[in-house]
Amino acid sequence: MQNQASTEKKEKGVWDLIADIILLIYILLIFFNGALSFLGPKLFDEWYYGPTKYVQGFFWILSNMSLILVGVAIKNIYIKIFGILIALIVALYNAYSNIEWMLQDSSMF
């Protein structure tokens, strides 16, 4: 009985660590994207035109998709499913908007 409780406690500890790592990855991606959005226009001329536009767009899409990590880190299975579903809808909409922005003609501006 005590051995089973010890095993369950270890498994819970492992899942808590995995959830913490997932959330840390999400926070680091958001931080990196924010730093890139802040420094990009200061370091490059015409940041939103040319090849740098696609670098920025890629990191926006990556940050949008990483929103799903928050839903994955939720421990309650029912709330996890709901969280992943909502995060997926938001992430796909934002990614679509970013792709649409990258594909529009830069010469219009």
Helix (H, G, I), strand (E, B) or coil at 70: helix
d(CA 20, CA 13): 11
Higher pLDDT, 68 or 7: 68
d(CA 35, CA 26): 14
**pLDDT level of residue 10 (50, 70, 90 thresholds):** low
d(CA 46, CA 30): 23
Q: What is the pLDDT of residues 44-68, one digit of tens each?
A: 887 777 777 788 888 888 888 888 8
* pTM of the complete model: 0.68
**pLDDT level of residue 109 (50, 70, 90 thresholds):** very low
d(CA 61, CA 20): 22
Residue 35 pLDDT greater than 80, yes or no: yes
Which pLDDT score is estimated for 8? Answer: 59
Residue 108 pLDDT greater than 60, yes or no: no
